[in-house]
Amino acid sequence: MISKLVVNVDGGARGNPGPAAIGVVVSDLDGTVIDEVAERIGVATNNVAEWRALLKGIERAQALGAREIELISDSELVARQLTGAYKVKHESMKPLHAEALAALRGFDSWRIRNVRRAHNARADELVNEALDAAA
């Protein structure tokens, strides 16, 4: 059983809103990639895509049996909203925020870390691969 996983997530849209996609990279503590997701999500804003990526990352970690999760995102907004540092004001984000918090209750512990895009490169590549495949 996998006790802890590291999950890099990214979402993006070409146009805001526009064609959108998510990228998720699930790794063990040694950095070995266990799972990747590159998926188009239809038309969405950048922020919705970031939240959808986070939800997909949580879902994949649960499916792999993780008890602890470290989420890594280059979206400061999502990271701070998830921890409660920022309020979720936009109506379309509130259900996504609530869904993420509910899903995270299934873990023994979790944390989210905000990083620069360069430190989230593979998840960003997956977003672009999914968007390019649609073009």
For the chain, how far is it from start to end, CA to CA, in angstroms?
Answer: 39
| pLDDT value of position 1 | 58
Residues 14-27 as b or e (16 or more Cβ within 10 Å = b): beeeebbbbbbbbb
**Start-end of H helices in 13-120:** 46-63, 76-83, 94-104
Within 10 A of 116 (CB to CB), how many other CB atoms are there?
A: 9
Encoded tokens for 109: 């512990």
Question: Which helix (H) or strand (E) element contains residue 24?
Answer: strand 18-27
- Give the global pTM: 0.96
Rounded CA gap, 30 and 76, in Å? Answer: 25
Query: Is 46 in contact with 4 (CB distance < 8 Å)?
Result: no
Rounded CA gap, 68 and 79, in Å? Answer: 17
Task: Provide the residue-wise pLDDT of the chain in tens; the chain has 135 residues.
Answer: 579 999 999 999 999 899 999 999 999 999 999 999 999 999 999 999 999 999 999 999 999 999 999 999 999 999 999 999 999 999 989 999 999 999 999 999 999 999 999 999 999 999 999 999 976
